[in-house]
Each structure stands twice: as C-alpha cells, then as structure tokens.
Structure 1
Amino acid sequence: MRVSNNLVGLLNFITFLLSVPILGGGIWLAHRATTDCEKYLERPVIALGVFLMLISLAGLIGACCRVNWLLWLYLLVMFILIVILFCFTIFAFVVTNKGAGQVLSGKGYKDYKLGDYSNWLQKRVNNNKNWNRIRSCLIDGKVCESLSKENSTTQSQFFAKHLSPIQAISVLESCVQLLFDLWSGCCKPPDSCGFQYQGPITWSKPQTPAATASQDCNAWSNDPNTLCYNCDSCKAGVLQNLKSDWKKVAVLNIIFLVFLIIVYSIGCCAFRNNRWDNANNRWKPYA
C-alpha cells in the first residue's frame, strides 16, 4: 500500500468514528427535543452525521480497497466542499463588516441599533418566520429570566454587579460580552425610552414619553415571555452575537480549509496510485 492511500484511509476512519456520535446526537434530539429551538437543530445534526459517515466510507473504501470510482467521488465532494467553505468565509467577512455597539456614557453596556448592520442580516431577522424561531430560542434559553433572580436593589448596583465580570475574568470575557449583547437589546428597554428601573427585568414607563422614543418603547412589556423580544434593539443584539460568532467561524474555516486542501492533495496522490496500479494489473501478463 502506498503512503498516501494509508493516510487517506486513516483520516477517513477517524472521520467515520466522529460521525457516529454526531449522528447519535441528532437522533437523540429527534426523540427527546421538547422546545422549538432543539427541534430546529435535529435535522442539521442528523444531516451532518450522515454526510460525514458516507463521505468517510467512500474515502476509506476507495483508498484502501483501490475502488477508483469511489475515490473519484470522494475527491469531487471534497473539491465542492473546499469551494463552498472558501465562498462562505469570504461572505462571512463581508456580511459582518458593518455594525457595532454604541458606547453609552456612564454605562457598562452598549446600545445596538438594527440599521447599523448589513442589509442581508437585517432581512434575515426581519423575516417573521426566522425571528419567531430565534425568539423562541431566546425564551427557551431563559436568557433574561435568570436576571430576575438577582437581589440588586438599585439600578447602579445592578449594573455594577453584572458588568464587572467582563473586566475581571479575561478567559470568559467574550462569552460574558455576548450574553450582555443579548441582555442590552432583549432584556431591557432602550435607554432612549427613559424607563425607570424597578428590577432586573421590570421597568416602568414614564408618564411623558421621551422625545427620542422609538417604536421599541411601545413594544416593551414586563411579561417575561415578551420583554423586548419584539424590539429592533433585540434583533440588533442577536446580530451582534451572530457577527461575533461568524467572525470566529470564518477564522476556523480558514484553518479547516488548509486541512482540507492538504487532505485533498493526499487524496489526489492516492487516486493516481490507484490508476497506476490498475493500469499495471491490466497489462500484467498471465502466468
């Protein structure tokens, strides 16, 4: 066996082993999912598990058993995957280039406006079907309800208590910041509304609306299942999270692309070996 065939076989055997728990996790979600958010994940997870399992089997059998058409199919899928990942990486950087929170004076959080983000992302969250699914995930995740269990008595104490971990714990800084992106947009009314703080998720409307009041001010409700989940500021907070996540995914995609290109090159060597061996066997004289 050639070295390239052995390497392709080994890598695909490892991929096949990884596909088993992924597929199992998708099947488990399909039978145990109770929320819309969990049900939304089951099909992509199952599809990913089946895809990895089939493509790894094609590469494994094609490289180790010298089945040339399977190895050719494996290389074709790998090439398409490389092109798709490359295009997605460029797209992710372009789409997430716009949008940033506005720093508020004397506050430990930022204000997010939907109009600051790319038109493509705005269209995604303004779609009622998409947003209803996202809102369901936010409610099921109880992102805001956990704040109501706190015992802070004043607005300043509440802000100080919750925002200090961002500066105190560098390892969790990004995770905490993402949480407060959602909190700032979905769990409290916009600062421009001039609402009075009564509790972590309880605010009273002013008798005289602020001059800078927006439609988000009327969308706010102290109901834990409503809050500001219908606000543009909440959609902007979700997009800020999405922007941060996509940038990280894009960086990981670059690393993964390099890995895929290396595997694809090794696979091409294995394919050439198969053709060479098949040609020799075809012209080999009978004893």
Structure 2
Amino acid sequence: MFRLSNNLIGILNVLTFILSIPILCAGVWLSNKGVTECEKFLDTPVIILGVFLMLISLAGLIGACCRVSWLLWTYLLVMFLLIVILFCFTIFAFVVTNKGAGEVVSERGYKEYRLGDYSNWLQKRVSNTKNWNKIRSCLVDSKVCSTFAEKYVAVPAEQFYKQHLSSVQSGCCKPSTDCQFSYVNPTNWTATDVVQTNPDCKTWNNDPKTLCFDCQACKAGLLDQLKRDWKKVAIVNIVFLIVLIIVYSIGCCAFRNSRRDNAYRGKNGA
C-alpha cells in the first residue's frame, strides 16, 4: 500500500504540473506575440520557469507514485537547492534594500529621490547603460508618464505641488524641485534663469518620450519602487520557504518509504 507521504507528494506534484502548463503557454505567447521590449525580456524567464516546474513535478510524481528512488532523490536534491537559493535571495533582498528613502520637500506633497541614497549594488545595476536602456524602454512602453499627465493635466500648479506622487512619477515624469522650473502642466515645464547645480536640470526635456527618463532622479525613483517591491517579494519568499521545507520533509519520508518498499520487494523476489 502507498504510504500517506507518497500520496501527498503525488498530489502536490500533480498541482504543480497543472500550474506549469499556463506558465509555459504564457512564455510561448510572449515569445511569439510580444511587441514591447518589456514583453520580449520576460518571455525566456517565463518559459524556463514553466519547463522547470513541469520537469521537477514529473520527477516527483513518478518517483512517489511508482516508487522510483533515483527520481525521488533527484527531486529532493533540486528541492534542497531551491530552498538554499531562496533563503540566500531573501537575505540578499533585505540587505540591498536596507538603504534609501525619498526626501521630504517643503510645501510639496511628493518626495524627491537621489540615486546616491541607495545601495551601491542597486546603483550599479541602473547606471549600466545597457540595463538602463531596457528599463527606460519599459517605462516609456508602460505609459507611466502619459497616464500621469492625463490625470493632472487640468490641475493648477498650487494643487499639483500638493499631490502624492509615486516615486517613479516624481523622479521620471517631472523635473527636480531644485531646478525651479516654471510649471505649465505636469509634463511641460519652462526653464528659468536660476543657476542650476543639479545635472538633471539639463537632462530634462518636455518631449513626452524624453522627459526625465535619463535623469538620476528617475533611476532613484525606480530603485525606491524596486526596494518596496523586493521587500514584499522577500516576505512572500519566507512563506514560500516554509511551504517548501514542509514539502521537502514529506518528500524525504516518501523517499525513505520507496527505498524500504524496493528493499522489501527485492527480498521477496530473492
């Protein structure tokens, strides 16, 4: 008779296999139908994830249900490596997102962001020209500033300054406050005669496809958003780690049961 641990591993891997099918299909769809740089960037990781889940679930399912010890051993080895990788990533995510925060500006509802406030590792990622060109393309394709402009187009300057903008909107869709540009509308500003020490002031352009997408403030705003997202992912990872450890423990019991069953059948056959 199959033991409970074998049945549980079998059920869990059937669910995982079913989950891998839409993930793999989504990756193939992005590969064939993807138009933007963001979509093209995502297709390969999604396909790899789908294939990985499909293969590992098949290994666990066949190993547990057919009592194939070497497949279960492979399954447990991959699970162990996955637990180690997730644990390391979770610690890493908390470390690299520990620094950095928006600066409160007088008489402004939004905050300003400085690239130097964030961890060196994150700064290097966005300072790399190749990386930033891809990120910049994603920001343009996502129409984050177009939506921003449409939302606040009829808002006068006094009310606009009181708005609570997201870090990306504040850093990428408008010039920095210390540039002291004259407000026309959310994405249209006029330069003044004030001496500008912030290099972002010269980078700003009213062109909807340029704006402040190449500004240091835009990179900092993105890192601030990334920082908050990574912390959420890290918390989810902790829960996922607990689930993985439980599944791994059940898998160890199934592996032990399979070895005992194989040994028992071997003795009877002899």
* TM-score, normalization by structure 1: 0.91
Given the superposition, is the C-alpha separation of residues 151 and 237 from structure 1 closer, same or farther in structure 2, using an over 3 Å criterion?
closer
Whether 1:194 and 2:206 are equivalent positions in the alignment is no
Question: Is the contact made by 2:107 and 2:161 (CA closer than 8 Å) also made in structure 1?
Answer: no
Judging changes above 3 Å, is the alpha-carbon distance between structure 1 residues 153 and 275 closer, same or farther for their aligned structure 2 residues?
Answer: closer
Is 2:195 aligned against 1:204? Answer: no
Aligned counterpart, 2:154: 152
Deviations 1:183-202 (A, max 9, x none): 00000111111111100100
**Alignment equivalent of 2:216, drawn from 206, 224, 232:** 232
Distance 1:235 1:38 in 2: 21
**For 2:217, what is the secondary structure of its paired residue?**
helix
Match of 1:166 in 2: none
Are the counterparts in 2 of residues 16 and 53 from structure 1 also a CA contact under 8 Å? Answer: yes
Over aligned residues, Cα RMSD in angstroms? 1.2
| Code of the aligned partner of 1:248 | K
Q: Is 1:6–1:64's contact at 8 Å kept on the other side of the alignment?
A: yes
Within a 5 Å distance, the mapping from 1:45-194 to structure 2 comes to 45-149=46-150, 150-160=152-162, 162-163=163-164, 180-194=166-180
State the alpha-carbon separation in 2 of the partners of residues 90 and 153 from structure 1. 43
The letter for the 2-side match of 1:267 is: G
Distance 2:14 2:155 in 1: 58
Identity value in percent:
62
Q: CA deviation at 1:110?
A: 0.6
Q: Verify the 8 A CA contact 1:152 1:158 in the aligned structure 2.
A: no
Name the amino acid aligned to 1:217: C
Is contact 1:104-1:110 (8 Å) kept?
yes
Partner of 1:3: 4
Name the CA distance, whole Å, in 1 between partners of 2:134 and 2:241.
Answer: 31
Query: Who is 1:171 aligned against?
Result: none
Which residue is 1:19 aligned to?
20
Name the CA distance, whole Å, in 2 between partners of 1:153 and 1:184. Answer: 16
- How far the C-alpha of 1:208 sits from its partner, in A, is 3.0
1:30 matched to 2:16: no
Measure how far apart 1:153 and its partner are.
4.6
One-letter amino acid of the counterpart of residue 15, structure 1: T
Deviations 1:56-78 (A, max 9, x none): 00000000011111110000000
- How far does the alpha carbon of each residue in 1:120-147 deviate from its partner, in whole angstroms, 9 at most, with x for none? 0000000011100000000000100123
C-alpha distance in 2, partners of 1:285/1:97?
Answer: 61
**Distance in 2 separating the partners of 1:107 and 1:233:** 16
Give deviations 1:251-286, integer Å, cap 9, x for gaps: 000000000000000000000000000111111156
Residues 270-281 of structure 1 aligned to structure 2 (within 5 Å) = 270-281=254-265
- 216-225 or 146-155, which moves further after superposition? 146-155
How far apart are the structure 1 equivalents of 2:168 and 2:269? 73
**For 2:29, what is the secondary structure of its paired residue?**
helix
- 1:198–1:134 distance in 2 versus 1, CA, 3 Å: same
Alignment-derived partner of residue 173 in structure 1: none
How many corresponding residue pairs?
268
Deviation at 1:209, TM superposition (A): 2.3
Which secondary structure state, in structure 2, belongs to the residue aligned with residue 105 of structure 1?
A: coil
Match of 1:253 among 234, 237, 241: 237
Report deviation, 1:247.
0.3
Provide the residue aligned with 1:222 in structure 2: 206
- 3-state SS of the aligned residue for 1:229? coil
Distance of 1:70 and 1:18 partners within structure 2 = 21
Structure 1 alignment gaps of length 5 or more: 164-176
User: Could you state the TM-score of these two structures normalised by the residue count of structure 2?
Assistant: 0.97
Change (3 A) 1:151 1:112: closer
